[in-house]
Amino acid sequence: MKLTLQNVNYFKDSSFQFGNYSLDISEAGPFFSKLDSGIVSKFNNCFIFPAFCDVHVHLREPGFSYKETIKTGTLASARGGYADVCSMPNLKPVPDSLENITVQQDIIDKDAVIRVHPYASITKNQEGKELCDFESLKDNCFAFSDDGKGIQSPELMEKAMIKAKQLDKIIVAHCEDNSLLKGGYIHDGEYAKLNNHKGICSESEWGPIKRDIALAKKTGCKYHVCHISCKESVELIRQAKKDGVDITCETAPHYLVFNDMDLKDEGRFKMNPPIRSEEDRLALIEGICDGTIDMIATDHAPHSEEEKTRGLKNSFMGVVGIETAFSVMYTYLVKTKIITLEKLIELMSINPRKRFGLPLNDDICVFDLNTEYNVDPKEFLSMGKFTPFEGHKLYGVNKMTVCDGKIVYESVF
């Protein structure tokens, strides 16, 4: 059916226009299936965006479905306005072979309500010792990453970059130097992680970035840095871009809003890398404004209640954010006039797809930007309920998400 939304602001050619917006719908939601005509006026003055793309999510399936499933994670993503999410490889089995990545893809094909693009791991079983068979995985993965673990060996990282360059794939790096971590490790059922949250120093992040920039320059590999959190990382990447290195990076909403003075002794504030100083936060903001930081990703990382209620020190690493990312960034960056709404759409929709070669399609989300709401994790569709934004008053409520012509999320009342 042809659906026409009247009197809306829609994004076209990098700017917003006001008027009627029409799209083809192959599968209507409960509200729209009851329409006598295809004309809707309930969205007056709402904003239509190209649906968002998150290159860094943890959907936890296969292997950890007690934390999240493909179904719940993609439903949550649709509620957040996303049509594309890219699933990190810290799973069981690790997607380090065609056989293993097919296990994940079968679940995606069966249960996902939006598009899910699976990562393959860089090393076998994410152990950082031996490369996966990149050739057998290249046609079935989004990119290569050992997210959750840093590649400690520069020789191995160089080999990975050479192989990725040959296959025209991107290396996506979780940058963390284990030799600089303090406080010891615990095992959380997925991979070894630092017990002492405050022991994750900035150099453990920017040191590997500095190393990898040199390797990316040497090999010509496409290189992307996950969740940067400190001022040194911003400056290294800024200079690398000036030097012609094929490098991009992301940061997450929590690093742009909080500093370490906001931390509470609660698991919902524990993630890796940690929230850092106000100086670091401001450097990230500057990186967003000048284009050093290319995109905003959530690092949506659900855990169970038992795993996240051990205080800041002993809770597992990772917070959820896919359902609140846009409204957080709209409230704290756009309404405060730090960036424009057009810039935010570039960061959340345009740039991620451009970098990773994903088509924009005709997917949309429809947001009411004038409505304020309180973040209540009990309302989340994700199985993960632990967010540092709990209780925050945010602007921007998603009314509808359309993916591949299907209404995958609908909340029009």
Check residue 195 and give its pLDDT: 41
**Residues known to be catalytic:** 299
Separation in Å, CA 272 to CA 134, 149, 242: 27, 10, 28
Cis peptide leading into 62, omega within 30 of 0? yes
- Rounded CA gap, 80 and 73, in Å? 11
Angle at the Cα of 331 from the Cα atoms of 325 and 336, rounded to 5 degrees: 135
Check residue 189 and give its pLDDT: 37
Q: Which residue numbers in the chain have pLDDT < 70?
A: 182-199, 412-413
Place of tokens 């056989």: 99
Check residue 186 and give its pLDDT: 36
Q: Which fold has domain 52-360+374-390?
A: TIM Barrel (3.20.20)
CB 87 within 8 A of CB 116: yes
- Rounded CA gap, 84 and 68, in Å? 17
Check residue 187 and give its pLDDT: 35
Check residue 29 and give its pLDDT: 81
Task: Name beta bridge partners: 53.
Answer: 84
Check residue 326 and give its pLDDT: 98
pTM: 0.95
Q: What is the pLDDT of residues 287-334, one digit of tens each?
A: 999 999 999 999 999 999 999 999 998 999 999 999 999 999 999 999
Task: Name beta bridge partners: 294.
Answer: none
Nearest residue to 238 via CA among 169, 286, 170, 175: 286
Check residue 197 and give its pLDDT: 59
